Amino acid sequence: MKWSLWGLVLLGALPMAATAQKSTAEGIAEYRAMLADGNPAELFEARGEDLWKQARGPKKASLQACDLGKGPGVVKGAFVELPRFFPDTQRVQDLESRLLTCMETLQGISAAETAKTPFGQGEQKTLEGLVAWISAESRDMRFNLPQSHPQEKLAYEVGKRLFYLRGGPYDFACASCHGEDGKRVRLQDLPNLTKNPGAGNGFGAWPAYRVSSGELWSMQRRLNDCYRQQRFPYPGFASDATIALGVYMGVNGKDGASIAPALKR
Amino acid sequence: MSDPMRIRAQAQGDKVTVRVLVSHEMESGQRRDAAGKIIPAWFIQSISAVYDGKTVMSAQWGPAVSKNPFLQFSFKGGKAGDKISISWVDNHGDKRTDEAVIS
Amino acid sequence: MERREFMQKGSGATVLGLAVAAGLMPAAAGAQNAPGWNKTAFETKSLNDAVKALGGNAPVESKDLILQAPEIAENGSVVRIGAQSNIPGTTQIAFVIEKNPSALAAAFDIPAGTDANVSTNVKMGQSSNVYAVAKAGDKYFYAAKEVKVTLGGCGG
Amino acid sequence: MMTTKRQAGLLAFSALLAGCAAGPSTRQVDEATQQVLKSSFREQGIARLDRLAPDASNQACSEAQGRPLDEKLAKSIEAENLATVKMPGDGKFIGDWREGEKIAQNGRGMTWSDKPGEANGGSCYNCHQISKAELSFGSIGPSLYNYGKLRGVSDPASPDSKPIVDYTWGKLWNAKAYNACSDMPRFGHAGILNEAQLRDLMALLLDPKSPVNSQ
């Protein structure tokens, strides 16, 4: 997190007099600008960096030998190339899925157990810090997901199918809310995730600190709640479906700059 | 054990601007859990900053301060390279002090 | 969901009312209070009562006290508010949110040498008048602004 | 190390794809998607797995991926959906707009965290502007502010108003009857809202005294 004097400058520049009647959109923009300085995600980043270096789990090992796709221990730039295909697991993995693998192989912490753990508890809490820090290490870098392996291409196409899949009692697909430009649900802008700039902005904001719950949400948790609101059944944590959606959004967001971990409603 | 605070103290001219993020639930005592039971209040009640042995800010907080609180203030006379320390106490009697170097 | 638990408009008020009646207000529910914590002040329901509990009375509006708050809050769980007092000899700045269960949100002591300019994040249960209060000498001043709290997201 | 269930997902297709530089075929994507759905989702609370099986309308609109449907297909889907519309049993279309406003505000219902048997909301403000007083409204659907007034409804019970009253009921009951791939849920058809709730929403939209039309 960069602590610039931006917030201060903005505060000074904004007309604060109660007489100034603003449009709703301007009001919301002002609210967000005021909060931009001091994103509590930074608390999670600090915890995540510690957790990466700490010897933990039955094997009392750190995660410093974890290969996030750019070689063992390389964190910088890894986030903007995920999800990608990993030869050792023969699987396309996103950040959360890859961390499950590393925690299991290096630390002896069961991936299946962590995937089953409710959000915000136990090793899921560990993941919150890790994804905050790892994504922050790629802040301002541009998304460039690999699409050379056949599995990466397949994951993109499957992600696209899932994005447009209407189901549940409300007939909702991801595309119902995120398939067009300039739409809102209530007052929240909905990024069009089928192309840039929406895909880069939307995909590139998560993990994020959610002010509504005061929690750090990974992309897996974000997608889990999307599917809940879509009235779908429950997607497994780091399942192929949620990873494939990540590939679809991330590839569509190519060259968009990562602002994760961002601050969201 | 609580997590460390994130403290940024920046000197500009004769003034030091301090921004603090605190890791704390700040449970209001107004919310109910899934079973309908009130979640007991748990929040920071006092927070203060000390520079060069002198208190440069002290505050009392109620349960309306947001979860993972943010705080900003500024004072005169601080120098880059010196330390500032921030301490809080909550209504459980838990407390924590962290230091940062003024940049 | 989380949002509603804290601040559902209609039923929230009832929940809060019951909590007060049952003696479940913040201080009573905690194990103990920090030394010097002004329990009475944090139980007040209005600007005037809050000021009284802080040791003053009848605050007057002042143009030299600038309250920074958004007109609309996208989410009531986190609202950035700040105050800058240009009133000479300001020794305290407090924030009062009229419609919160405990109106006083925070009170900052301003020692000599510290700017009378502080900001923090507060929760707002619903749209409300927000006040900054400044103490100078033995007088109290205030500045007011209405902050609208909106419902957001899919609401489920 | 990874669960067998997960290995069965995309991995099964790597052999198929070997040496295939052009990317997967439609059939490969179809099959992989089905496998991924099967291995990724589970039942939770009231959200059962049958929710993943699209009916004919959803199937066609999913496949279209946002592009317009073939006109003949669209017409047949609309006809099928129109046939499901049930007019109110007692012939009463208009309820209480105050209740309607509450239903329009309420975005809850039918998620895996909702309990069975609880009344659902209409989520209307998520997508539509409705009454002027609510600033927090979405824009996925058109504004419904002055809905009745703009359509000249001064008395919803009058014969003049009959066509628009019928259409509005039908649209709420099954939006796909008028637009095959509408983004709007089929509130009556899918059992999201009951007749009494629909009447209250009708009042919100059409009653001249409703703030939608009076302000």
CA D112 → CA A4, C103, D54, distances in Å?
42, 37, 18
| C9 CA: distance to closest CA in chain A (Å) | 15
Lowest mean pLDDT of A220-224, C52-56, C149-153, name the range. Answer: C149-153
Of C143, C133, C128, residue with least CA distance to C110: C133
- Within this chain, do residues C47 and C115 fall inside the same structural domain, yes or no? yes
Query: Which residues lie across from C135 on neighbouring strands?
Result: C92, C140
Full domain range(s) for residue A32: 25-264
Do C52 and C125 belong to one domain? yes
Is C133 buried (19+), middle (13-18) or exposed (0-12) by CB count in 10 A? buried
Q: What is the mean pLDDT of residues D183-188?
A: 98
- Cβ–Cβ contact B14 with C under 8 A: no
Rounded to an integer, what distance in angstroms lies between the CA atom of residue B80 and that of residue B91? 34
Is B89 in contact with C35 (Cβ distance < 8 A)? Answer: yes
**Predicted pLDDT at D10:** 52
Closest residue of chain B to C41, computed from CA coordinates = B62
Residue C126 included in any domain: yes
Q: Averaged in consecutive runs of 10 residues, what is the pLDDT profile of chain A (265 residues)?
A: 43 41 81 92 96 98 98 98 98 98 98 97 97 98 97 98 98 97 94 96 95 95 97 98 98 97 93
pLDDT of residue D21: 56
Say whether B6 and A46 touch across the interface (CB within 8 A): yes
Task: Give domain status of residue A241, yes or no.
Answer: yes
Quick one: C27 and C104 in the same domain? no
CATH assignment of the domain containing A148:
1.10.760.10
Compute the distance between CA of residue A94 and CA of residue A218 in angstroms, rounded to an integer: 11
Among C residues 52-81, those touching chain A with beta carbons less than 8 Å apart: 66-75, 77-80
Number of Cβ within 10 Å of residue A152's Cβ equals 18
Domain count, chain C: 2
Q: What is the CATH number of the domain that holds B24?
A: 2.60.40.10
In total, how many domains does chain B have? 1
* Contact across the interface for D10 and A104, Cβ inside 8 Å: no
| Chain A residue numbers touching C144 (CB-CB < 8 A) | 18
Residues C48 and C125 in one domain: yes
The pLDDT of residue C95 is 98
A contact residues 54-113, partner C, Cβ 8 Å cutoff: none
C156 part of a folded domain: no
Task: Write down the residue that tokens 């920090």 correspond to.
Answer: C34
3-state SS track over chain C: CHHHHHHCHHHHHHHHHHHHHCCCCHHHHCCCCCCCCCCCHHHCCCHHHHHHHCCCCCCEECCCEEEECCCEECCCCCEEEEEEECCCCEEEEEEEECCCCCCEEEEEECCCCECCEEEEEECCCCCEEEEEEEEECCEEEEEEEEEEECCCCCCC
Number of domains in chain A: 1
Exposed / middle / buried, residue D156 (Cβ in 10 Å: 0-12, 13-18, 19+): buried
Average pLDDT over residues D195-206: 98
- Find how far residue A62's CA is from the centre of its chain: 23
Indicate whether C151 pLDDT > 70: yes
Q: Which percentage of chain C shows pLDDT scores above 70?
A: 80
How many cross-chain Cβ pairs, A to D, lie less than 8 Å apart?
A: 185
Cβ(A143)–Cβ(D10) under 8 Å? Answer: no
| Chain C from 64 to 103: CB within 8 A of any B CB | 77-80, 82, 97, 100-102
Q: What is the DSSP letter of A107?
A: I
C18-C21-C23-C29 Cα dihedral, nearest 10 degrees: 20
Instruction: Please give the Cα distance from D49 to D52 (Å, whole number).
Output: 6
In a domain, B55, yes or no: yes
User: C43 and C25, same structural domain?
Assistant: no
Mean pLDDT across chain D: 91
Region C19-29 average pLDDT:
41
- Say yes or no to pLDDT of C12 above 80: no
Same domain flag for C9 and C59: no
Specify whether the CB–CB gap between A250 and A81 falls below 8 A. no
The interface predicted TM-score (ipTM) is 0.86
A177 is catalytic: no
The span from the CA of B91 to the CA of B97, in Å, is 16
Nearest to A97 by CA among A119, A80, A72, A114: A114
For testing contact with chain C, the best of A6, A9, A26, A31 (most C CBs within 10 A)? A31
B37's tokens: 């039971």
List, for residues B64-92, the tens digit of each pLDDT value. Answer: 999 999 999 999 999 999 999 999 999 99
Give the domain range for residue B97.
6-101
Q: Which of C136, C124, C73, C64 is nearest to C96 (CA)?
A: C124
Residues C117 and C80 in one domain: yes
Of 2.60.40.10, 1.10.760.10, 1.10.490.10, 1.10.357.10, the CATH number of D97-214 is 1.10.760.10
Q: How far is CA A85 from CA A69, A143, A240, A243, in A?
A: 8, 16, 12, 11
For Cα atoms C39, C43, C45, give the angle at the middle one, nearest 5 degrees.
Answer: 150
Tokens of B84: 């500032």
Q: Are residues C79 and C16 in the same domain?
A: no
Task: Judge whether A16 lies within some domain.
Answer: no
B74 in any annotated domain: yes
Q: Residue A50: in which H helix or E strand, if any?
A: helix A41-53
* Residues C25 and C72 reside in one and the same domain: no
Interhelix angle for A95-102 vs A219-229, to 10°? 120
Which tokens hold the place of D88?
């109110």
Question: pLDDT value at position C22?
Answer: 38
* pLDDT mean over C9-26: 38
Q: Give the mean model confidence (pLDDT) for residues D18-22.
A: 55
SS3 of B75, please? strand
- Find the angle CA(C118)-CA(C124)-CA(C126) to the nearest 5 degrees: 145
Report the DSSP beta bridge partners of residue A72: A67
Name the DSSP letter for residue D50: G
Q: Judging by beta carbons within 10 Å of its beta carbon (0-12, 13-18, 19+), is residue D128 exposed, middle or buried?
A: buried
Higher model confidence: residue A3 or residue D36? D36
C39-47: average pLDDT = 95
Between CA B56 and CA B7 the distance in angstroms is: 15
Q: State yes or no: pLDDT of C26 exceeds 90.
A: no
Domain presence at residue A17: no
Q: What is the CATH number of the domain that holds C133?
A: 2.60.40.2470
pLDDT digits (tens, 9 = 90+) for C83-140: 999 999 999 999 999 999 999 999 999 999 999 999 999 999 999 999 999 999 999 9
Taking the Cβ of residue B10 and every Cβ of chain C, the question of whether any pair is shorter than 8 Å is answered with no
- D52–A151 C-beta distance less than 8 A: no
The arithmetic mean of pLDDT across residues D143-159, rounded, is 96
Is D123's CB within 8 Å of C1's CB? no
- A38 vs B19, B25, B67: nearest CB: B19
Domain check: are C28 and C83 in the same one? no
Tens digits of residue pLDDT in C61-79: 999 999 999 999 999 999 9
Predicted confidence at residue A132, as pLDDT, reads 98
Looking at the structure, do residues C27 and C66 belong to the same domain, yes or no? no
Model's pTM, two decimal places? Answer: 0.89
pLDDT bucket at D118, cuts 50 / 70 / 90? confident
Task: Give the strand pairing for C139-149 and C72-73.
Answer: parallel
CB D109 within 8 A of CB D118: yes
Tokens matching residue A235: 């997607």
Q: Nearest-CA neighbor of B79 among B6, B20, B15, B19?
A: B15
Query: Same domain, yes or no, for C82 and C132?
Result: yes
Q: Is residue B86 included in any domain, yes or no?
A: yes
Question: In which band, very low, low, confident or very high, does the pLDDT at D97 lie, cut at 50, 70 and 90?
Answer: very high
Tell me the CA distances in angstroms from A243 to A84, A188, D146, one per residue in order. Answer: 9, 24, 44
Say if A20 falls within a structural domain: no
Question: Which domain, by its residues, includes C26?
Answer: 1-32
Of C58, C122, C57, C116, which is closest to residue C95 (Cα–Cα)?
C122
The answer to whether position B1 is within a domain reads no
**Interchain proximity C1–D136, CB inside 8 Å:** no
Q: How far is C127 from chain B (nearest CA, A)?
A: 14
Asked if residues C81 and C69 have their Cβ atoms less than 8 Å apart, the reply is yes
- What whole-number distance in Å separates Cα of residue B59 and Cα of residue C49? 19
Mean pLDDT of B94-102: 97
